[in-house]
Amino acid sequence: MKNVILARLSTIPVPGQRMDLARSGMITERDISIDGDRVVVSVNVPDGYAADLAELKALIEAKLEGLDGIGTLLVVMTAERAAPPAPEAPKLKKRPTEAPGPDMRPQSAAIPGIRTIIAVASGKGGVGKSTTAVNLALGLRSLGLKTGLLDADIYGPSLPRLMNIAARPEIENDRVLPIEQYGLKTMSMGFLMEEDNPVIWRGPMVVSALMQMTREVDWGALDVLVLDMPPGTGDAQLTMAQQVPLQGAVIVSTPQDLALIDARKGLKMFKNVDVPIFGIIENMSAFVCPHCGETSHIFGHGGAEEDARRLGVPFLGAIPLHMAIRETSDAGTPVMVTDPDGPHAQAYRKIALTIATRLFPETDED
């Protein structure tokens, strides 16, 4: 099948070069991922590529559409041209909040239909970032906001598991339709690939896949899109923070010192690209014993709160380490859904309210 696809692609000449797409190395066998009748083709666009990317994408789609064995086709352009060189960009322009303004980066223009976007980030993996993002998104929704959730962790997408989604997204008029679950519009690379057959992404591909998931998904009208960032503070995360028009970011951290050191890197990353930091959420804060109800501060106490104060960023709240959160999260039935009036849901909703107040200060009259 991959050979058939490559053969088709070898009929597309690369503008300005005496080569076709397959021979140019822009698409190799490794860049084609097949899962049943779903095919993802990643095009590795070189730095100096001067021609129109949308045109190239359309050409590829036209060549492959209707090919036997292809049900759903996703062509991911992996151009990084629009991004400023990440590590060497110490001071970047402010991102637009309402109108795009004179910002020269075309990628960071506002996305039609989406009023605000916030990133949920962490300095490292395993701190409960995705669980927090899911419950916060549900919390925002419970406040009456039209909310979307984009799982941008394309290395280890967890949304299918956390939201119990096994469906595959439909594609309509070249746009991917988000999957609705628990009242949220959701999208994840995990919807398009097999869990045990992960795609190997190269740095620039990550960013471009994210851009497509942000811009080519038919989100409709959203008050807020919650972006569950990949863990860590590497180049991919930095470029995302630059290219997506973020209104703000929240950092999820556990109380351990190490995590806090990592969390600081997260803060710095957003500060460097002028994204306002709404605050730090301390996750897995205190342990509440499910049997006796006693609270134990296994990882110490107040670390994140003190740290936030020291760093001059708001402390948004603490979420306890609780069996109910782990069980519901891993079962795909978030605690905001299973126990919306319980103490955990209340903790998430309280943080969601603080975030909503930052996002929509003018409409937050009680």
* Smallest distance, ligand ADP to C-beta of residue 262, A: 11
Closest residue to ligand ADP, judged by C-beta, is: 128
Q: Which stretch binds ligand ADP (CB under 6 A): 107-115, 126-134, 144-152, 171-179?
A: 126-134
**Closer residue to ligand ADP (CB): 107 or 135:** 135
φ, ψ for residue 103, nearest 5 deg: -60, 130
Say if CB 163 and CB 332 are below 8 A apart. yes
**Closer residue to ligand ADP (CB): 122 or 208:** 122
Name the 3-class secondary structure at 4.
helix
Position of tokens 């891993």?
330
CB atoms within 10 A of CB 41: 24
Please give the size of the binding site for ligand ADP, defined by CB under 6 A. 19
Q: Which stretch binds ligand ADP (CB under 6 A): 65-73, 127-135, 181-189, 304-312?
A: 127-135
**Closer residue to ligand ADP (CB): 128 or 204:** 128
Q: Check binding of 128 to ligand ADP (CB under 6 A).
A: yes
Between CA 78 and CA 208 the distance in angstroms is: 5
CB atoms within 10 A of CB 167: 10
Near ligand ADP by CB under 6 A: residue from 44, 122, 188, 237: 122
For residue 195 the two structure tokens come to 């869990």
Between CA 257 and CA 278 the distance in angstroms is: 21
Q: Which of 351, 254, 352, 347 is nearest to 302 (CA)?
A: 254
DSSP per-residue string spanning 283-306: EEEEEEPTTT--EE-TT-SSHHHH
Q: Check binding of 130 to ligand ADP (CB under 6 A).
A: yes
Q: Check binding of 188 to ligand ADP (CB under 6 A).
A: no
Near ligand ADP by CB under 6 A: residue from 23, 93, 301, 326: 326
φ, ψ for residue 59, nearest 5 deg: -60, -45
Fill in the per-residue mask, 219 to 238: x = in contact with ligand ADP (CB under 6 A), - = not in contact.
Answer: ------------x-------
Q: Check binding of 189 to ligand ADP (CB under 6 A).
A: no
Near ligand ADP by CB under 6 A: residue from 36, 113, 126, 342: 126
Position of tokens 């280890």?
156
Q: Check binding of 127 to ligand ADP (CB under 6 A).
A: yes
CA angle 288/293/297 to nearest 5° reads 35
Residues 146-165 contacting ligand ADP, CB under 6 A: 158
* Smallest distance, ligand ADP to C-beta of residue 282, A: 10
φ, ψ for residue 116, nearest 5 deg: -145, 155
Q: Which stretch binds ligand ADP (CB under 6 A): 91-99, 124-132, 164-172, 357-365?
A: 124-132
**Closer residue to ligand ADP (CB): 113 or 126:** 126
**Closer residue to ligand ADP (CB): 247 or 329:** 329
* Smallest distance, ligand ADP to C-beta of residue 229, A: 9
* Smallest distance, ligand ADP to C-beta of residue 325, A: 4
- Longest CA span, the chain: 74
Q: Which of 289, 354, 343 is nearest to 143 (CA)?
A: 354
CA atoms within 13 A of residue 293's CA, in its CB half-sphere: 1
Q: Check binding of 325 to ligand ADP (CB under 6 A).
A: yes
Q: Which residues bind ligand ADP (CB under 6 A)?
A: 122, 125-131, 158, 231, 283-284, 319, 321-322, 325-326, 329-330
